[in-house]
């Protein structure tokens, strides 16, 4: 195992990096809701802001275009990643199983630190847990078996949502009240959460810890395991079938994009209108959310097909190069989102929590996109990895990784 090393930039698949960069930027468009305001504002648009005009349109736009779609696309790529990682070989010629699990446990540790000390909406912990519990053990299955397993896991996630809806009446008053505080808070409750964000950092961390624990445990078992895990298996299936690595003809990607994208977005749009009709009320919302749950699967595949078609046609070369750089630094850029939001919105920083409605939040998102699209290629001209990727690899491989390109043993950066 001591002879293994991270892949060089010349070995990376451009298509996967472009897709990863696209998904990473899109994820911020959703996460900003729970970074610029309490988590309840992510779920319930009436929590803090007037749900009308540009703010309503922005909420609807992000729900239809980004919600679950970008997480789904990123999950597909994470699943494909295990297949790429399994092609490495240890000195005896065996797959690097121990190295994979060390990699996942390091990611888990980074995720826990991120969740408890920077932002409670962390996705790294669920990804690491899926990598530990599921992905490695499924890597040798056929594309067909992986597809069936993916559909099965996604179906379980949908069924759990229906069970939650039907079991609402059997829940205790305390449990219902706790869930309503997140899903349908009063204005006073939401303002109280804003006050917590603007208060002392140590108090914010301490009082957020119980909710963070529930998010990383119970919510993982009820949602992330099935949704993210299912999309990861779907990504493995699509990679093995040649879809995610660009082996299929351009015409195939065009057909998939023209069918899956509008179907997925149309289903999600119907779901968004239904949520408005029921005023985002629990428990019926648990069932209505299934419109987007299903539509997002098709939209994620459609987005992937669209990007693949663009790459195969050689279009938008400059933008592709920048997206690929963002994708190569996905962990660093993801953590940059959280750190930047903490500085902007929490009390120990500029204390702007609760001041930006959904439309204004998108302006911040675009500004961060521009910064990362500019800075990521510049960074990778000088360094092999982003700073977080360098730390992740160093801890995984057990020795300090060379980070500068001028290191004699490294290949030059691909043009």
Q: Looking at the predicted structure, is the pLDDT value of residue 58 above 60?
A: yes
The span from the first CA to the last CA of the chain, in angstroms, equals 30
Sign of CA dihedral 38, 43, 44, 45: positive
d(CA 22, CA 320): 9
Share of the chain above pLDDT 70, in %: 93
Residues 163-200 have pLDDT tens digits of: 999 999 999 999 999 999 989 999 999 999 999 999 99
Q: Kindly give, in sequence order, each residue whose CB lies less than 8 Å from that of residue 31, ignoring residues fewer than 6 positions away.
A: 119, 121, 337, 341
Could you give the count of Cα atoms lying within 13 Å of 103 in the half-sphere of its Cβ? 22
* Per-chain mean pLDDT for the chain: 92
Nearest to 358 by CA among 27, 35, 23, 24: 35
Residues 366, 413, 403: CA angle, nearest 5 degrees: 85
What DSSP character marks residue 168? Answer: G
d(CA 267, CA 106): 38
Asked whether 77 and 23 are in contact (CB, 8 A), the reply is yes
Asked whether 308 and 253 are in contact (CB, 8 A), the reply is yes
Per-position b or e across 85-118, b if 16+ CB within 10 A of its CB: bbebeeeeeebbeebbebbbebbbebbbebbbbb
Q: Looking at the predicted structure, is the pLDDT value of residue 348 above 60?
A: yes
Write down the pLDDT at residue 2: 40
d(CA 368, CA 344): 12
Write down the pLDDT at residue 17: 94
Higher pLDDT, 11 or 129: 129
Strand, coil or helix: 371: helix
Write down the pLDDT at residue 86: 87
Sign of CA dihedral 307, 311, 314, 317: positive
Instruction: Compute the average pLDDT of residues 389-394.
Output: 95
Q: Looking at the predicted structure, is the pLDDT value of residue 415 above 80?
A: no
Which of 33-42, 376-385, 397-406 has the lowest average pLDDT? 397-406
The residues with which 383 forms a beta bridge, in sequence order, are 404
DSSP string covering 93-115: S---HHHHHHHHHHHHHHHHHHH
Nearest to 49 by CA among 371, 58, 171: 58
Long-range Cβ pairs for the range 389-394 (8 Å, 24+):
389/328, 389/329, 389/331, 389/332, 391/110, 392/103, 392/106, 392/107, 392/110, 392/331, 393/6
Q: Looking at the predicted structure, is the pLDDT value of residue 92 above 70?
A: no
Write down the pLDDT at residue 410: 38
Q: Looking at the predicted structure, is the pLDDT value of residue 89 above 80?
A: no
Q: Looking at the predicted structure, is the pLDDT value of residue 321 above 70?
A: yes
Q: Looking at the predicted structure, is the pLDDT value of residue 147 above 80?
A: yes
Q: Looking at the predicted structure, is the pLDDT value of residue 54 above 70?
A: yes
- Rounded to 10 degrees, the C-alpha dihedral 186/187/193/196 comes to -140
d(CA 389, CA 409): 19
Write down the pLDDT at residue 10: 41
Q: Looking at the predicted structure, is the pLDDT value of residue 396 above 80?
A: yes
Residues 255-276 have pLDDT tens digits of: 999 999 999 999 999 999 999 9
Q: Looking at the predicted structure, is the pLDDT value of residue 62 above 60?
A: yes
d(CA 144, CA 150): 10
The residues with which 404 forms a beta bridge, in sequence order, are 383
d(CA 231, CA 16): 15
Instruction: Compute the average pLDDT of residues 87-102.
Output: 75
Instruction: Compute the average pLDDT of residues 104-122.
Output: 97
For 34, 210, 231, 250, 358, the CA distances from 125, given in Å and listed in that order, are 17, 16, 16, 36, 27
For 40, 60, 129, 193, 351, the CA distances from 47, given in Å and listed in that order, are 7, 15, 32, 11, 19
């Amino acid at each position: 195992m001591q002879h293994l090393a991270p892949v060089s930039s010349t070995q990376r698949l451009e298509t996967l990096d472009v897709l990863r960069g696209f998904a990473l930027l899109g994820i911020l468009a959703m996460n900003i809701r729970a970074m610029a305001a309490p988590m309840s504002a992510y779920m319930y648009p009436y929590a803090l802001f007037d749900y009308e005009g540009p703010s309503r349109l922005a909420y609807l736009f992000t729900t239809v275009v980004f919600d679950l779609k970008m997480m789904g696309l990123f999950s597909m790529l994470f699943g494909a990643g295990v297949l790429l990682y399994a092609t490495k070989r240890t000195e005896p010629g065996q797959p690097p199983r121990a190295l994979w699990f060390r990699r996942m446990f390091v990611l888990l540790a980074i995720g826990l630190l991120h969740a408890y000390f920077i932002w409670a909406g962390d996705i790294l912990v669920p990804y690491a847990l899926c990598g530990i519990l599921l992905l490695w053990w499924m890597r040798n299955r056929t594309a067909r078996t992986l597809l069936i397993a993916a559909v099965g896991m996604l179906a379980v996630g949908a069924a759990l949502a229906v069970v939650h809806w039907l079991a609402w009446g059997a829940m205790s008053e305390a449990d219902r009240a706790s869930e309503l505080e997140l899903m349908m808070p009063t204005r006073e409750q939401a303002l109280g959460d804003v006050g917590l964000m603007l208060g002392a950092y140590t108090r914010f961390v301490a009082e957020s810890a119980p909710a963070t624990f529930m998010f990383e445990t119970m919510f993982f078992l009820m949602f992330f395991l099935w949704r993210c895990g299912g999309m990861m298996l779907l990504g493995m299936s699509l990679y093995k079938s040649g879809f995610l690595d660009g082996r299929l003809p351009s015409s195939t990607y065009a057909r998939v994009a023209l069918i899956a994208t509008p179907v997925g977005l149309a289903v999600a749009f119907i779901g968004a209108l239904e949520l408005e009709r029921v005023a985002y009320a629990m428990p019926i919302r648990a069932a209505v959310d299934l419109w987007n749950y299903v539509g997002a699967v098709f939209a994620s595949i459609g987005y992937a097909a669209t990007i693949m078609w663009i790459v195969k046609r050689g279009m938008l070369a400059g933008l592709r190069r920048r997206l690929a750089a963002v994708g190569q630094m996905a962990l660093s850029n993801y953590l940059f989102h959280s750190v930047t939001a903490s500085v902007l919105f929490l009390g120990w920083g500029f204390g702007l929590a609760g001041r930006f409605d959904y439309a204004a939040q998108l302006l911040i998102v675009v500004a961060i996109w521009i910064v990362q699209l500019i800075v990521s290629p510049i960074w990778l001209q000088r360094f092999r990895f982003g700073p977080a990727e360098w730390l992740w690899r160093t801890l995984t491989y057990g020795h300090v990784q060379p980070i500068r390109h001028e290191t004699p043993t490294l290949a030059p950066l691909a043009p």
